[in-house]
A and B are shown apart, each in its own frame.
Chain A
C-alpha cells in the first residue's frame, strides 16, 4: 500500500474538509467557550456528523457502521484538528469503537450500533493521575453479587459528564478488566473541569459502583489486549488531530508572514523567519508521514503498529508543538491576544499532547520496545 491517500480516501477528505471548515470553524469553538457551554460540544453538529456516517466509520458493518480504517478516521481527525472543532469523535468513534470491536460480545452488540447511530457518547476512563500511566491502574473491581463493585478515581476523562457510557479500566483478581459503566450507575460521579483549551474533562469517582457481570467488555482479567487496542487507536487518532492542529497553525502563520509588514518589508522576506518556517514545514511533513504509517500498520493489523503508534504520538507531538510555538512567536504581539486564533491552537495542542501519553512517555516506550 502506497503511503498516500487513495482515490476513495481523497474523496472522503474532499467531503469532510469543507464540511468541518464551514460548520465548525474556530468561531464555533469560540461561541461554545463564550457561552460557557456546559456540554463541551454541539449536539447539532454531532447530529450532522451522524448524517455523514462519521461516528460509525470504524464500526464494523455487521454492527451498522461503515467498517472503515484508521487511515479514514485520521482524515476526519485532521480536519477536526485544523478547525479546533470540539467533538467526542476521538473518544467515541475511535477509542471506544476500537475496544468494543476488539472485544465483541454483549457490550459490542449493545453499544456499537448506538455509536454508529449517533445515539451514544462514550468516555474513556483510563488515567488516574496527572500523567498517563496505564500500567499503574489502581481502580479495583471486586466480585459482588451477580457482578462487580468498582472503586477508584479517574481523571482527564473527556466528555465524562455527558457520556452515555464510560469504559472503565480496573484491576481484577487475575489481571485487568474493562467495564462498560452506564451514566446512571449508582456511585458514579463525574466532576467536569474546564481545561486550558476550553474543553471539559472530568474527574470521575467510582464509589462502590455496582455493575452486572455482563458489563465486562471482552473477558474478565483479559482486558489488557482490549486496552492496548483502545490506546493504540486513541493515540494514533490524537496524533492525527495534532497534525491538523499543527497544520492549521502553520498555514495561518505562513499566511501572516506574507501580509505583515515591518521595517518597510514583508516579514516573510526575512531569512531568519524563512528558515524557521521551512524547518517547521519539514517537521510537519515528517510527522504527517509517520502518523499515516501508524494508521496503515494498525489497519493491516501489523505487529509493528505498536512501535509506530508511539513514534507517531511523539513525533506529531513535537512537530505540532513547534508549529504552535512558532505560530505565536511569528505573529508577534497579536499572537498573544485572545482575538487572534493562533493562541487557541497553542492551547489545543497542549491538551492533545498530554492526552494518552505525552512526548516523553512515548519516547520512553520506544526505548523499551527497542530493548534499552
Chain B
C-alpha cells in the first residue's frame, strides 16, 4: 500500500468512527451551519460532537501546523482528506472567517506569539471573528476608509463606523482596517484585532432583500485598542488586506462555483416533463440550461487549473480576480435559471415545502456575489490593469 493509500484508509476509518450520521445530511439552511464562538448554541449533540472530534484531531484546519491547532497535513494529504469528507457528504465541522480569512493572514504576517495566541482558538471554534473592511461611502474603494485610530502611546483610540460586517452582531472579535496616518492614503492603514465586547463597540443588523440580516453596521466610539493587537506592520495594513482579499475571492469564487456547481438541466427535467425525444419539454430553457452547463464544466476545469497553478506559483497574482469575476457572474446566472426552472413554486417565500423560500432567498442572496469582496467592475479594472497592462487604468 502506498503512503497515500495508507493515509486515505486512516482518514476513512477515522471519519467512519467520528462523523455522526446527522452530519452527513445535506445542509438545508443556515441553521445547519456551525459557526462556533463564545455564545454558540449547538443545534444538536451531533453538531457539538463533530466539531469537538475534528478540533481534537486538527481537522477543522487540516493543513495548518499542529502547533496552531491544525493537523499539519501536506497539500496531497489535505486533498485526500477533502475527498474523503466529500465522499461521505460530511458537513463542514466549522464555518469561520477566522479559518478562511484571518488565519491565512496570520500565518503569513503574524508573529510566532500571535499565531499561537489566535490560531488555536480559531481552530477550535472558540472565538468567532468578523471582518471590518467596508465603510459607508467606501465600498470597493477600500483605501478611502475614514475610521481613525488615534495614537495614545500604548494604545489607539478608534472612532468611526463599518458597514457590511458579516455577522458582527454574533462575533466575538473583529479584524479591522483602521486609518492610523491621515496623510498617507495607502501606507496609513493598520490591520487591527480587537474584542467586540470592548467599550464603545455597537452593532446593528441590516435587513436585506432576501429577508435575512447577515450583515451589520458597526460603530466604534472611543474604542481602546492595545498597541500589541495589530498584524504585520503599523501603517502597512494594506499589504495584509490585499493578501487576505485574495483568499476571500478564492473562497467566494470557489464556494459559489465549486461544490454547488453541478448540471442543473437534469434536476428540472422531472418538473417540466420530457418530450418524445427524451428532452426537457421547454426547448428554449433547455438550451439555456445546457449552455449554462457548458460554462459550469468549463469553469470547473478552470478552477482545477487555477488551483494547480496557484499552488505551484505559476498563476498570475491577479488571476484570483478573474476567478472571482467569472465565478460570481456564473453563480448569479445559475440562480436565475433555478428560479425559471422552479416556476411558481420557486416564488413561495415562507412555505414549509420550499424550506422557507430557500430558492427565492438564495437567488436574492447571489446578487451580492458580484458586489462583496470587490465588485465585478473592480475585478475587471484589476484584470485590465495588472494582467493586460492597459494604460491609465
Contacts and interface: CB of A to CB of B under 8 A. Distances in A.
Q: Are A and B interaction partners?
A: yes
Contacts, number: 147
A18 interface: no
A281 B377 contact: no
B393 interface: yes
Interface in A291-338: 292-293, 307-308, 310-312, 314-315, 318
B295 A372 contact: no
Contact of A4 (B305, B325, B387): B305
B302 A290 contact: yes
A31 interface: no
A367 B290 contact: yes
Interface string B261-285: 0010110110000100011100000
Contacts of B291: 314, 363
A258 B37 CA distance: 52
The dominant DSSP class at the B interface is: helix
A370 B294 contact: no
Nearest to A258: B391
B297 A311 contact: yes
B11 interface: no
A275 B279 contact: no
A266 B326 contact: no
Contacts of B290: 363-364, 366-367, 370, 372
A360 B294 CA distance: 11
Given A363-B290, A366-B290, A271 B381 contact: yes
A285 B325 CA distance: 12
A266 B384 CA distance: 14
A275 B319 CA distance: 15
Contacts of A278: 322, 325, 379-381, 383-384, 387-388
Contacts of B302: 285-286, 289-290
B287 interface: yes
The dominant DSSP class at the A interface is: helix
Interface stretch (B24-32, B142-150, B159-167, B307-315): B307-315
A363 B322 contact: no
A133 interface: no
Nearest to B324: A282
A308 B296 CA distance: 11
Contact of B280 (A277, A310, A318, A367): A367
A286 B380 contact: no
Contact of B390 (A2, A254, A279, A286): A254
Interface in A232-279: 254, 257-258, 265-266, 268-269, 271, 274-275, 277-279
A367 B304 CA distance: 23
A288 B319 CA distance: 14
Most buried by B among A287, A307, A312, A366: A366
Interface size class of B (residues with CB under 8 A): 35 or more
A145 interface: no
Contact of A269 (B268, B274, B293, B391): B391
B390 A370 contact: no
B309 A286 contact: no
Contacts of A82: none
Most buried by B among A282, A312, A364, A371: A282
Nearest to A362: B294
B265 A282 contact: no
B289 interface: yes
B392 A266 contact: yes
28 contacts: A258-B389, A258-B390, A265-B392, A268-B390, A268-B392, A269-B390, A269-B391, A271-B381, A275-B377, A275-B380, A275-B381, A277-B388, A278-B322, A278-B325, A278-B379, A278-B380, A278-B387, A286-B298, A286-B299, A286-B302, A287-B298, A289-B305, A308-B301, A362-B294, A367-B289, A368-B279, A370-B266, A372-B266
Interface of B: 263, 265-266, 268-269, 274, 278-280, 286-287, 289-291, 293-295, 297-299, 301-302, 304-306, 308-309, 312, 314, 319, 322, 325-326, 377, 379-381, 383-385, 387-393
The 8 closest A-B pairs by CB, nearest first: A367-B290, A293-B301, A278-B383, A274-B384, A3-B305, A2-B308, A269-B392, A289-B305
Given A3-B308, A293-B301, A360-B287, 18 more contacts: A2-B309, A268-B391, A269-B393, A278-B325, A281-B322, A285-B319, A286-B302, A293-B304, A315-B294, A362-B294, A363-B287, A364-B290, A367-B265, A367-B290, A370-B266, A370-B290, A371-B269, A372-B290
